[in-house]
Structure 1
Amino acid sequence: MASYYSQEVHGPYHMINIGRLELAEGGVIENCELAVATRGTLNADKSNAILIPTWYSGTSKIMEQVYVGPDHALDPSKYFIVIVNQIGNGLSTSPHNIGGTLGGPNFPKVRISDDVRAQHRLLTEFFGITSLALVVGGSMGAQQTYEWAVRYPDMVKRAAPLAGTACNTEHDFLFTETLEEGITTDPGFRDGRYGTAVDVAVGLRRHAEMWTVMGWSTEFFRLNRHQALGFASADAFVEGFMVPYFAPMDPNNLLAMAWKWQRGDVSLHTGGDKAAALGRIKAKVFVMPFSTDMFFPPSDCLAEQALIPNSAFRPITTVDGHLGLFGTDADAIAQVDLNLRELLALPA
């Protein structure tokens, strides 16, 4: 059986070493490797590049499966699509694969800004890309999308943050804290020095149960959406879908991403002034929250959108909550595609 973090499960992707990455928190990754999946062909003037960053627990594979293809706005026959796995997600340099003294619980603290600087180096030095037709990502991918638009305003022509915010809220910070505690309070976690994910099965199960409560929505269960997905009861959904999803994941990888998620904040560029940071954006922006999202509710996203020049608020209607990002609601993905086609048609 193939290991979870492998080409067999999540490929195809290429490992690209971008060299020494100095981190915002003061640490260093000497040989930072990014797992990169590409679709389509870069045109002669390199103007058709689209960047997709990944979300918490996700890899390039789900982005390809749900959002990329000839029937989607992100069509490889038109665009060169680069999907970069975030640092810590298990494919790129992460706690479980870095080895040496930085492995496991000793992995350095990585911020959203570190991912974006790493991606910028990848695009400019390895692909020769200096202009992005679009940056689009969901959840933590939305955090990276905002960071891109604020940090590199002249490079990003269009941006589409899905189900995520530019500055994480205190409320969401606390949500994420409970996810972390679900893992770390398992005695098998041993301060991050466990043998394998199996040793932390109880903690990963608690983590999955909390994701079930917060990741979907009350409407999802009231309307028996879990039955439409093939599970007779909520318990069966937890046992058959949510627990198996998280069970093979490395706990230290999840915690590295959670720490980063909690501290996503573009206002760090402007001394804590969110309006000033978002005011730097030159891209055309469609802000697309999911209507029943309890992590990144539409009201939080609307408050930020109001501060962004050349932006529009395009909420996605779905009862599937935050995890509608998984593609469980075909109509929600159709709405995303409709918005992305409109955004891509706007002049840069």
Structure 2
Amino acid sequence: MRNNPYYGPEGHGPYEMIGIGDLDLEEGGRIPDCQLAVATHGKLNAAKDNAILVPTWYSGTSKIMEQVYIGDGRALDPSKYFIIVVNQIGNGLSTSPHNSTGALAGPGFPKVRIGDDVRAQHQLLTETYGLDRLALVVGGSMGAQQTYEWAVRYPEFVQRAAPIAGTAKFTEHDILLLDTLAEAITSDPGFRDGSYASPADVAAGLKRHAKGWTLCGWSDAFFRAGRHRAFGFETVRDFADNFMVGYFAPMDPNALLSMSWKAQNADVSRHTGGDLAAALGRIKAKTFVMPISHDVIFPVADCAAEQALISGSSLRPLVSIDGHLGLFGADPELLAQVDANLKELMETSVD
């Protein structure tokens, strides 16, 4: 499938396509002429010490990061910082199944790991912007996975880290969860092993996928409190059938599956022979770990267990009944908590 109109500057811009050359992948294979879709806000100062990296989450692009988290007076303030939002490989804007050619197109798109994204981002930051450090890496969900990978892989580069609603190693529970969400797509006869002509051919599978995310992305308290009405939907069914299904319907299924596999296989302990404590022990960044109180995908306890392994880190639970998809920004109190924590973190001196 080529040229999906959903992905483009009209809905997700502005951003710049920056080529980093051929990217060799950890699972084998190569992405020739890998392109990263990059949105920047603010200016890099002369000392080059005000750069903040924001990686994207599953299904999300740089646009939602701009809309929800970046702005004057916010913690991510472009008048103070040079904020670099990098769309992860396979998310539809950067090199992805639908915009690749030849053997890499569609179902032929190779397996990409979180580590591949982070190495690509490191190359971007050092070669394009001349950076040798980051004041902060902050991201939610898959963005948190990339944040952890950054802090473990490049401990001297990252001064502060703020993983939000995500873990450094995916749990067995979450692997099974994403298996189920992926099977909602691949079991649709229209999927044709990834050789569909358009997302419309996989409409039934994408609908099942969206409803699965409705169940696990929002908490039961969210629905009991009628929070779906904040999105303009009177009933839960209307919210699921229109907001959630409408959100996923135009997306490229192969891109979703590429990101899903990547999330499932996130594990910083790959750097230390499977020893998670040793991997997280590498982190030198001042780290605030921010789980969301009602998140059923990344519960506070899972995040706290990892945080305890990071020297000098702080656990900062965000209280919101919205659950994991509180990341979408519909709860202003959650956003206020994020801003307060990030402002405190940025005011914290680092060695």
Is this a same-fold pair by TM over 0.5? Answer: yes
Give the 3-state SS of the residue equivalent to 2:205 in structure 1. Answer: helix
The two structures have a TM-score, normalised by structure 1, of 0.99
Give the 3-state SS of the residue equivalent to 1:183 in structure 2. Answer: helix
The match for 2:150 among 129, 132, 148 is: 148
The answer to whether the aligner puts 1:327 opposite 2:329 as a matched pair is yes
The match for 2:22 among 3, 20, 23 is: 20
The answer to whether the aligner puts 1:244 opposite 2:246 as a matched pair is yes
Question: Within 5 Å, which residues of 2 pair with 1:110-125?
Answer: 110-125=112-127
Q: Counterparts of 1:49 and 1:35 in 2: how far apart (Å)?
A: 17
Structure 2 equivalent of residue 102 of structure 1? 104
Structure 2 equivalent of residue 266 of structure 1? 268
Q: Percent identity?
A: 68
Instruction: Give deviations 1:260-290, integer Å, cap 9, x for gaps.
Output: 0000000000000000000000000000000
Instruction: Give deviations 1:125-176, integer Å, cap 9, x for gaps.
Output: 0100111000000000000000000000000000000000001100010111
The match for 1:159 among 148, 158, 161 is: 161
Q: Counterparts of 1:199 and 1:70 in 2: how far apart (Å)?
A: 42
Structure 1 equivalent of residue 311 of structure 2? 309
Instruction: Give deviations 1:173-197, integer Å, cap 9, x for gaps.
Output: 0111111000000000000000000
Q: Counterparts of 2:78 and 2:100 in 1: how far apart (Å)?
A: 32
The match for 1:208 among 188, 210, 218 is: 210
Structure 1 equivalent of residue 233 of structure 2? 231
Matched residue type, 1:120: H
Matched residue type, 1:118: A
Q: Counterparts of 1:11 and 1:227 in 2: how far apart (Å)?
A: 28
Instruction: Give deviations 1:37-93, integer Å, cap 9, x for gaps.
Output: 000000001000000000000000000000000131000000000000000000000
Structure 1 equivalent of residue 135 of structure 2? 133
The two structures have a TM-score, normalised by structure 2, of 0.98
Give the 3-state SS of the residue equivalent to 1:295 in structure 2. Answer: coil
- The more displaced of 311-320 and 94-103 is 94-103
Structure 2 equivalent of residue 345 of structure 1? 347
Q: Counterparts of 2:159 and 2:76 in 1: how far apart (Å)?
A: 15
Q: Residue 31 of structure 1: CA displacement?
A: 0.7
Q: Counterparts of 2:53 and 2:254 in 1: how far apart (Å)?
A: 26
List alignment gaps of at least 5 residues for structure 1. Answer: none
Matched residue type, 2:23: L
Q: Counterparts of 1:194 and 1:289 in 2: how far apart (Å)?
A: 37
8 Å contact 2:230–2:330 — kept in the other structure? Answer: no
Q: Counterparts of 2:191 and 2:230 in 1: how far apart (Å)?
A: 35
8 Å contact 2:17–2:36 — kept in the other structure? Answer: yes
Q: Residue 240 of structure 1: CA displacement?
A: 2.1
Instruction: Give deviations 1:220-259, integer Å, cap 9, x for gaps.
Output: 0111111232211001101221011000000000000000
Q: Counterparts of 1:258 and 1:240 in 2: how far apart (Å)?
A: 23
Structure 1 equivalent of residue 286 of structure 2? 284
Q: Counterparts of 1:110 and 1:20 in 2: how far apart (Å)?
A: 13
Matched residue type, 2:244: M
Q: Counterparts of 1:146 and 1:284 in 2: how far apart (Å)?
A: 12
The answer to whether the aligner puts 1:218 opposite 2:220 as a matched pair is yes
Q: How many residues align?
A: 347
Displaced runs of 4+ in structure 1, greater than 3 A? Answer: none
Structure 1 equivalent of residue 320 of structure 2? 318
The match for 1:67 among 69, 87, 97 is: 69
